[in-house]
Amino acid sequence: MELTVIGQTAGEAGASGCSSSGCGGSSDQLSHLPEHIRAKVHNHPCYSEEAHHHYARMHVAVAPACNIQCHYCNRKYDCANESRPGVVSELLTPDQAVKKVMAVAANIPQMTVLGIAGPGDPLANPERTFETFRQLTEKAPDIKLCVSTNGLSLPEQVEELCKHNIDHVTITINCVDPDVGAKIYPWIFWNNRRVKGRKAAEILIKQQQKGLKMLTERGILVKVNSVMIPGVNDAHLEEVSKVVKANGAFLHNVMPLIAEAEHGTFFGVMGQRGPTHTELQALQDKCAGDMNMMRHCRQCRADAVGMLGEDRGDEFTMDKVETMEIDYAAAMQRRAEYHATIEANREAQKSQSGQSFVSLASIKVNRKETRPVLMAVATSGGGVINQHFGHAKEFLVYEASMTDVRFIGHRKVDLYCSGGDSCGDAETTLQKIIRALEGCEAVLCSKIGYEPWEQLESAGIQPNGEHALEPIEEAVAAVYAEMVENGLADKTETPAQLQAGA
Ligand code: CLF
Ligand code: SF4
């Protein structure tokens, strides 16, 4: 789910003619969907890119066991299919999890979704997972329920999932070819015994596709996550995308492998690298020909709390939750009012974005030979440019062209300005940020200091603080229009060529 396509009013990405090459679910892309599907995704921060600017999710770590082994996983950490490795969650009982969800929902009005995504596989822990869902259906009826699984035991549990009113299921599918699968999964636990190698992958693949079909036949929206592992399944994932789409998947989320030796995973220890930003984007673009692509996944942890990209878990540890007095009925009312305000703002932003396209369209007459430009954006949510450059922990990256503005992905960075003792490291941190923003030609933020301004400029990235509080797509379109007018987006003048000529 992904971007707002300026100037387009119809067509879900990939599915029916989004001009940007695959997206997922911005409001415009969703506009052609049946009403009951739009209602399911419009405020789900993972199933709708636009929604992730406005709404939050949380996970509860109730599921410790797993029934397979992935080469990118170390059981000491959370399930790497849905969560980044390297952090250990506080394991909760279903009762604790329910208390925590109600506490978070009462305190974070943006929250719409509760997901169970680890630390092992939720469906390998069915009693704990379903008891949590059962209680929440009763006590927090306004929260959407979501689950992520490796799919091995999915077909046998589809009926149970349906009973709990779960509208969103994620299956991690890294392959549809057992020979590729054998390089990713050393074993699975199946019918009370351990099955290894190609045979294991064959069973897993069969179960995943069967489960996917069963869910989609029952009207449940299925997102497929795939971990991109260069040299192992990268060339194969286009085929995966085609197959899962044919079997009814709603959205495909190709995520980069995170493999560090210190995580102690097989891939980490063997020195298996993850993809670069460029490789990931290229593969997402290829898959987008057939499929709606998610590009805003943050590979969040199994106990993540808050907007995607932020982690407020520390505010809701169980010792704190136990002391909170919750009036859930009152909180539910406040949240409904808050969501109404968000929806009004989204509507307003949409009409503004439409106006920006008009200015691009008028430029088109004079400048035909233009190239697309990548821009980084600092935002703390709300779909607007509202973050100081020095406070950004990540930048969203957009591609502007004469036809649209599309969301490409995000780049995580260290804080440039954290104050105190770390200020001595600022130069190094800034250099790291500049490296992370490689390929971007502008960075849009609410404010920026003199020093980073100068260094960004010398690195060929133009800082811009003129669009504070403006909707992101509108601001990106306006900056692009300016670049086009000044000849900075001419096909013949890439930044590298300009620098060479200087
Ligand atoms: Fe959680 Fe996953 Fe549901 Fe979202 S996360 S179970 S679908 S509520 Fe979202 Fe996090 Fe990416 Fe998952 S950003 S890791 S895709
Ligand atoms: Fe680890 Fe998740 Fe794979 Fe299980 S499914 S081995 S918990 S990454």
Question: Looking at residue 9, what is its pLDDT?
Answer: 24
- Three-state secondary structure call for residue 394: strand
Question: Looking at residue 32, what is its pLDDT?
Answer: 62
Peptide bond before residue 230 is cis, with ω within 30 degrees of 0: no
Q: In what order do the strands lie in the sheet with 305-307?
A: 293-294, 251-256, 221-228, 168-172, 144-149, 111-116, 56-59, 305-307
For 286-381, strand residue ranges (E) read 293-294, 305-307, 373-377
Per-residue pLDDT, averaged over 199-222, amounts to 96
Q: Would you give the distance in Å from CA 246 to the centre of its chain?
A: 23
Q: Indicate the helix (H) or strand (E) that contains 268.
A: helix 266-269
Task: Report d(CA 10, CA 353) in Å as an integer.
Answer: 14
Question: Looking at residue 12, what is its pLDDT?
Answer: 24
**Which of 66, 154, 172 has most ligand 2 atoms within 8 Å of CB, for mutation?**
66
Higher pLDDT, 300 or 26: 300
- Shortest-distance ligand to the CA of residue 311: 1
State phi, psi for 305 to the nearest 5 degrees: -140, 130
Ligand 1 proximity of 44 Cβ (cutoff 6 Å): no
Question: Looking at residue 6, what is its pLDDT?
Answer: 25
- Which two structure tokens, joined as six digits, stand for 490? 């001419």
Tell me: pLDDT of 250 over 60.
yes
Least confident of 132-146, 230-244, 343-357: 343-357
Grade residue 40 by pLDDT with cuts at 50, 70 and 90.
confident
Task: Report d(CA 73, CA 59) in Å as an integer.
Answer: 19
**Residue bearing the CA closest to ligand 2, atom 5:** 150
- Report CA-CA distances (Å) from 80 to 115, 118, 231, 241, 437: 15, 9, 19, 20, 25
Which residue type sits at 95?
Answer: D
Ligand 1 proximity of 63 Cβ (cutoff 6 Å): no
- Report CA-CA distances (Å) from 352 to 4, 13, 140, 355, 485: 12, 21, 35, 5, 21
Grade residue 491 by pLDDT with cuts at 50, 70 and 90.
confident
Q: Which residues contact 74 (CB under 8 A, 6 or more apart)?
A: 85, 263, 264, 265, 268
Tens-digit pLDDT profile for residues 318-338: 999 999 999 999 999 999 999
Task: Report d(CA 49, CA 247) in Å as an integer.
Answer: 23
Atom of ligand 1 nearest to the CA of 299: 14
Which residue type sits at 151?
Answer: G
**Which residue's structure tokens are 């490291």?**
425
Question: Looking at residue 71, what is its pLDDT?
Answer: 95
Per-residue pLDDT, averaged over 180-200, amounts to 96
Q: pTM here?
A: 0.83
Which of the residue ranges 40-44, 177-181, 472-476 has the most confident prediction, judged by mean pLDDT? 177-181
**Which of 67, 69, 258, 299 has most ligand 2 atoms within 8 Å of CB, for mutation?**
69
How many angstroms does the Cα of residue 49 sit away from the middle of ligand 1? 12
Question: Looking at residue 30, what is its pLDDT?
Answer: 59
**Residue bearing the CA closest to ligand 2, atom 3:** 70
Tens-digit pLDDT profile for residues 304-317: 999 998 889 999 99
Ligand 1 proximity of 129 Cβ (cutoff 6 Å): no
Q: Provide the mean pLDDT of the chain.
A: 85
Say which DSSP state 380 is in.
Answer: S
Least confident of 66-80, 177-191, 472-486: 66-80
Q: Which residues form ligand 2's pocket by a CB distance below 6 Å?
A: 66, 68-70, 73, 79-81, 120-121, 150
Higher pLDDT, 26 or 147: 147
What is the number of residues in the chain? 502
Tell me: pLDDT of 231 over 50.
yes
